[in-house]
Amino acid sequence: MSKMVEIRWHGRGGQGAKTASLLLADAAFNTGKYVQGFPEYGPERMGAPISAFNRISEERTTLHSNIYEPDYVVVVDATLLSAVAVTSGLKKEGAIIINSNKSPADLKPLLDGYEGRVYTIDAGKISQEELGRNFPNTPMLGAVVKVSGVIPEDKFIADMEQSFKHAFASKTQVIEGNMKALKRSMQEVKGL
């Protein structure tokens, strides 16, 4: 059986973790992979912690549960490091990607002894500079593709450009800003 990649996203309602997980699923599907992308949240309200999930594989899967032992964890809001057990079940050979202006070394002590790779990306700064607002999901999406290698980068960029053109047909400046944010995050993600 081929390797299945499982990704768990942690964010707060309204930050776009769910949207990013669904965009990743669409992009992976468009490269011929089997995918799942789904959220989990309790009472829906802005700012409440939420989780979203991706399964990406070369073969069909019959699993239809939450992801308890992810290969990668994406933390869209660093305040969740002290509020949610984000590293729970995270595989040592995997990685965690955190939206923060701090270095991976600065955040490693906050990860409950996690021994795997730690990456950071200042998604807030990138989105503020490229989109004019704090939309961290687009830069986080670029960072997870860069770190995981789950989709070839060139195919991912081409797919996302088409996706954005469809979603924002009447707002070309939004397309350009999102594309810049994606590409920039893939260059600026830092890891140890």
CA dist 152 and 87 (Å) reads: 26
CB within 8 Å of 101: residues ≥ 6 apart: 120, 122, 124, 125
Q: What is the pLDDT of residue 1?
A: 36
CA dist 163 and 141 (Å) reads: 13
* Residue 64 tokens, joined: 């239809």
SS3 category, 21: helix
Q: What is the pLDDT of residue 43?
A: 63
Mean pLDDT of the chain: 92
SS3 category, 146: helix
Q: What is the pLDDT of residue 44?
A: 61
Which of 97, 89, 95 lies closest to 20, judged by CA? 97
Strand partners, 72: 7, 95
Quickly state the pLDDT bin for 170 (edges 50, 70, 90). Answer: confident
Residue type at position 54: N
Say if CB 10 and CB 41 are below 8 A apart: no
The domain defined by 5-191 folds into Pyruvate-ferredoxin Oxidoreductase; domain 3 (3.40.920)
Q: Which pLDDT tens digit goes with each residue over 51-102?
A: 999 999 999 988 888 899 999 999 999 999 999 999 999 999 999 999 999 9
- How distant, in Å, are the alpha carbons of 83, 181, 192 from that of 56? 28, 23, 24
